[in-house]
Amino acid sequence: MAITPIDIQQHQFKSRPFGYEKYGVDEFLEQVATEMERILRLNQELREELARTRAALDEMKKREATLKETLVTTQKISADIKANAHKEAEIVIGDAQIKAERVVRDAEDRRIQLINEIQEIKRQKISFETSLRALVMSHIKLLDLEVVEVEGGHSNAEDHLLEDSLPFDEITASELNGVEFDLDDNGFDPEDL
């Protein structure tokens, strides 16, 4: 039977002529002692449970603090990694732009070089055509001569050969003035005349 503080305050012992009944007082004290023992045991168990709960709470708080520190550290590292990656990306892009500009500049230099080489080849072609035209003209002028004077005596047959008209007499130097010589394909071809 559980005893409450009100039970203790309101408990009435039977009285005898010489005081309270000893058996009733002893029984009540026994009940009070049992209840006090139970309360003390319960109190001790609750204190132990409270200590365990506080220890667990302290452990949880330590873990929470560690997790917060880890989270903050992780966020900082993540931000640093992002910043470094961004910087590296900017460096790579800058290098790529420099290389691209170098490639474009080299290509432009090569284009100008090729244009100059083509112009030089055209100049050489014109010079060669002019030289060749002059050479052909001089040879045609030599062939236009109808009589070749030869020193010394020759037979009439030789003189006759020298005085005959040559097969090139039909083409004169004046007719060759407007002729373009195309040496790009197969070189000079007298049949084109």
pLDDT tens-digit profile of 97-115?
A: 999 999 999 999 999 999 9
Question: Rounded CA gap, 169 and 141, in Å?
Answer: 10
With respect to residue 8, please indicate whether it lies within any of the assigned structural domains. no
Whole-number Cα distances in Å, 14 to 17, 25, 145, 176: 10, 9, 181, 167
pLDDT band at 9 (very low <50, low <70, confident <90, very high): low
With respect to residue 42, please indicate whether it lies within any of the assigned structural domains. yes
- Report the b/e string of 56-67 with b at 16+ CB within 10 A: eeeeeeeeeeee
The tally of domains found in the chain comes to 1
With respect to residue 6, please indicate whether it lies within any of the assigned structural domains. no
Under DSSP, is residue 156 helix (H, G, I), strand (E, B) or coil? helix
With respect to residue 30, please indicate whether it lies within any of the assigned structural domains. yes
With respect to residue 1, please indicate whether it lies within any of the assigned structural domains. no
With respect to residue 3, please indicate whether it lies within any of the assigned structural domains. no
With respect to residue 89, please indicate whether it lies within any of the assigned structural domains. yes
For 26, the domain range is 14-148+155-176
- Indicate whether 92 pLDDT > 80: yes
With respect to residue 108, please indicate whether it lies within any of the assigned structural domains. yes
Report CA dihedral (39, 43, 49, 53) to the nearest 10 degrees.
140
